[in-house]
Amino acid sequence: MAIKKKWPVEYQANTEAWMTTFADLVSLMLTFFILLISMSTMDKTGLADIEASFRKAVSVLNSGTKTELQIIPPLQMQKLISPRELMLAMRQNSRAIMKNSIMDHKVRGVILNDRLYLRIPDAILFDRGSAVLKPESVKTLVKLAQMLAMSPGNIRVQGHTNANIDLDNSAFDDPWSLSLARAASVLHILEDEGVSPTRLSLAGYGPSQPISTEATPFGRSKNRRVEIMVYQ
């Protein structure tokens, strides 16, 4: 009987063995994440409340398009659940009040750290080197003050100038006293229109808090401003 000759089998390394370990690892990770998701719950009611409050604050339709700016009533503002929502609502109200006025598109409403800063350029409010309000700006300030009187929160009026402001023929010797006097002029409007003195405070920062460069006329004009800061 003839014996078949067995030829030696050449050894070949299994280069795909790592895939088995990798697949096991992926399966374990997938199981872990599925377990985490199954243990968590989504509070749909809470999300709906947050979305509804936000929509009220910024007046957005269900389609996502903005409506015309409208005044949000004080009672509705008191229902807002967070300081930021309140600041958004007050910024909308201020924009609606300034619409088609001398301040329209010139006053910026900036929200920083849940505080609303209404930044009014000095050229809208005052003549150069003066702290006397221009008559054309008083009408809009009065409406703004009436809105703030019915809204919650504290208010600080802050005056700012640039470093090298021209004070020739001015009643003020330095930018510090000018910035304080300008802030006081705006504060008196707020107080006269019903904002409680217990909610009001005053500051004159002179050139110490610029928001733009001092190297250009445009930058210096941005630094000369009165800010109405609203906070809780």
**pLDDT 10s per residue in the chain (232 long)?**
555 555 554 545 555 565 666 667 766 766 766 655 555 544 444 445 444 544 444 443 334 444 455 667 665 666 666 888 888 888 888 888 888 888 888 899 999 999 999 999 999 999 999 999 999 999 999 999 998 998 888 999 999 999 888 888 889 999 999 999 999 999 999 999 999 999 999 999 999 999 999 999 999 999 999 999 999 8
Question: Which stretches of the chain are DSSP H helices?
Answer: 18-39, 44-58, 74-77, 83-98, 122-125, 135-149, 175-192, 217-223
Inside any domain, residue 20: no
Is 36 within a domain?
Answer: no
- Whether residue 41 lies inside any domain: the answer is no
- Identify the CATH number of the domain in which residue 162 sits: 3.30.1330.60
Say if 143 falls within a structural domain: yes
DSSP state of 218: H
Give the count of beta carbons closer than 10 Å to the beta carbon of residue 135: 7
Asked whether the beta carbons of 163 and 207 are under 8 A apart, the reply is: yes
In angstroms, what CA-CA distances link 55 with 52, 115, 192? 5, 19, 33
User: Cβ of 94: how many Cβ atoms within 10 Å?
Assistant: 25
Whether 111 maps to a domain, the answer reads yes
Domain containing residue 98: 50-231
11 occurs within a structural domain: no
Three-class DSSP category at 169: coil
What is the SS3 assignment for 117?
Answer: strand
CA distance 47 to 51: 6
* Residue 35 in domain: no
Number of domains in the chain: 1
Q: Is residue 1 part of a domain?
A: no
